[in-house]
Chains A and B, each alone.
Chain A
Amino acid sequence: MDATPEELQLLANCELDEIIDKNRLIPRIDFHTSVSKIILDTLRQNSKLLHLYNLVATKLFEFCLKFNSQREYRRLAETLHSHFQQLVKAKKNPETFVNSKIPYPVKLDDPECQKFLLELRKTQIEYALKMEHWTDAYRTSEIIFMLINKQEKKVVRSHL
């Protein structure tokens, strides 16, 4: 194979082993994160499998912290916020649940769903603080506040 002068220059300035390692490992890591993302997307509206949703997200947070992957952390945080916003939207337009015919939708008013949602946000804020993602920690704290408020309102109503 004929290499261009630029390619030869690049090779001379790089460690060939490093390039080989990168080409070998990065696709595997991308596969790992993509599969996790697909699982999260698949389970985001399934209240019966929220424990698996939380498990996958927590494992990915562990991965981000262990390997200090800021990029994957941001992607995961964005995915979780987007999924939560979809739940908020669905609550504002309840007819979407009926029209979409989802068998076990995640409802923000359901105490069991709230428990899982809160658990994951607690995990998220812990990792956000550990990885110094202050903006994400703030956004997560807002969600926690919102979820706790919902629970408190229910408790007050049940006492009245």
Chain B
Amino acid sequence: MHFRNMTQHQSMSLLESVVNHLIKKNNGIVKQIEQSDGVEKLTKILNERETGPDGVDNTQ
């Protein structure tokens, strides 16, 4: 938060490049999992999670 407030005032380009770097690395995590374990396995794990106590949809 302090970093955001500081860079927003002093160096927007620094904030932008840090966020861009984070986005790139963050997207890499999913790509890596896809390559090593495949889409199906991840879909199965995420779906199983849905059935847990936190996965119940009360909004519908």
Contact = CB atoms under 8 A, between A and B. Distances in A.
Interface string B37-59: 10101110111111000110101
5 contacts: A25-B37, A29-B45, A49-B12, A102-B8, A133-B60
Given A35-B26, A66-B43, A104-B8, 13 more contacts: A25-B33, A29-B30, A29-B42, A39-B22, A46-B8, A48-B12, A49-B15, A59-B23, A66-B39, A70-B57, A71-B55, A74-B59, A135-B60
Contacts of B22: 35, 39
Contacts of B60: 133-135
Interface of A: 21-22, 25-26, 28-29, 31-32, 35-36, 39, 42-43, 46, 48-49, 52, 55-56, 59, 63, 66-72, 74, 102-104, 133-136
